[in-house]
Each structure stands twice: as C-alpha cells, then as structure tokens.
Amino acid sequence: MNTNDPTDHADTVDQTEPDESSKDNDAGQAPRDVRHTGHVVAAVVAAIVAVCASTAVVRSLNYRSNLHETALSTCQTQAAAVDDSMTALTKAIDDAATESAYTSDDVADPNTLNDLEDMLTRANALPDIPACQATATTNDLLDNASRLEIYNENVENLTRAVEIAQKAVVSSHTELENMNQ
C-alpha cells in the first residue's frame, strides 16, 4: 500500500473543501446558520430596545405621577397653613370689635381709630384663596402652592397689623381716660 497514491484514499472525504455539488447550490449565499443568526441577533436587539423604551416610559409616567402627588401635597400643606392664619385673623378681627366701635371722642389720638379701620377694611377685602384641586395640572398646583405661601404671609402680616392697631386704640383710650381723671 503506497501512501502517496490518491486512489488508496478514495473513500476518505476531505472536510476542508466542500464538494462541487454544494458549491453550486449555495453560490452567493451565506451558510444557513449565519443567515439565521443574523435574524436572531436582530430580534434580540429589537427586544432589548423595546424593553428599554417601555422602561423609560414607565419611569417617566411614575416621575410625573410622583411630581403631581408632591405638588398636590405641597399645595394642600400651604392651604392648611392659610386656614390656620385665617383663623388667627378672624380672632384678631373679633377681638378688635369693641375698639372699632369707639369714636374719636373715646380716644386721645383719633388716628389710631383710622389705622384700625384701615386694617379691618384690608382684612375684609382679601382676595379669594387659591384652590388645590387634585384634577389641576401639576404646574397649576405648583403655582397655587406658591400663591398660597404668599397669601399666608400676607394674612399673618395683616393679623399682626390688626392686633397692633387694636392695641394702639386701647392705649389711646386708656390715655384719654387717664387725662380726664
């Protein structure tokens, strides 16, 4: 047996080179495994992109929902503070009822009566309190929360002004009584 004789190995097929029939059938085409791998890779990439996109949408919706809830909560907190301040203002107005009934003959300085009357007029002319509706937009809630904060500061300042004006009238009344003795 001669190992250099090609006829001796006729039943052995060389695996490194395809036979002529397979070259003719697959001419110009990638092997079948490569074509399917490309489709699988494309499908996996598309699935990853879809998952990322849906995650981004869900996070965006959750962020907006949380922002809206925070805006509503902030607005409601400011509204509660205004309610407390309005209660204090109402009490100050009620406390000043006696002094507001005085005339210029009842006090040493009639300007104190004018000051008290001005403060009571301002207190009765306050604008409407901004509302915090859950159905409002997030921007409207944030705007109203800011307005409520300013409104609250104004009510607190007005309450102090009414109290000071009332005390000034009391002092002026006491001063007049002391002068008349």
* pLDDT, greater one: 34 or 54: 54
Q: Is 111 domain-assigned?
A: yes
Q: Is 58 domain-assigned?
A: no
pLDDT in tens, 105-138: 999 999 999 999 999 999 999 999 999 999 999 9
Q: Is 139 domain-assigned?
A: yes
Q: Is 72 exposed, middle or buried (0-12, 13-18, 19+ CB in 10 A)?
A: buried
Q: Is 123 domain-assigned?
A: yes
pLDDT in tens, 134-161: 999 999 999 999 999 999 999 999 999 9
pTM above 0.85, yes or no: no
Q: Is 107 domain-assigned?
A: yes
**Quick one: pLDDT at residue 7?**
53
Name the residue range of residue 93's domain.
69-179
- Helix 110-124 to helix 32-95 angle (10° resolution) is 150
Round to whole Å and give the CA distance between 9 and 28.
31
- Number of domains observed in the structure of the chain: 1
pLDDT in tens, 56-70: 666 665 556 688 889
**Other Cβ atoms within 10 Å of 158 Cβ, number:** 20
**DSSP annotation string for 11-26:** T---TTS--HHHHHHT
Q: Is 129 domain-assigned?
A: yes
- pLDDT at position 2 over 80: no
Q: Which residues of 28-61 are buried (b: 16+ CB within 10 A; e: fewer)?
A: eeeeeeeeeeeeeeeeeeeeeeeeeeeeeeeeee
**Other Cβ atoms within 10 Å of 65 Cβ, number:** 11
Q: Is 125 domain-assigned?
A: yes
Total residues found in the chain within this entry = 181
Round to whole Å and give the CA distance between 72 and 101.
43
Q: Is 112 domain-assigned?
A: yes
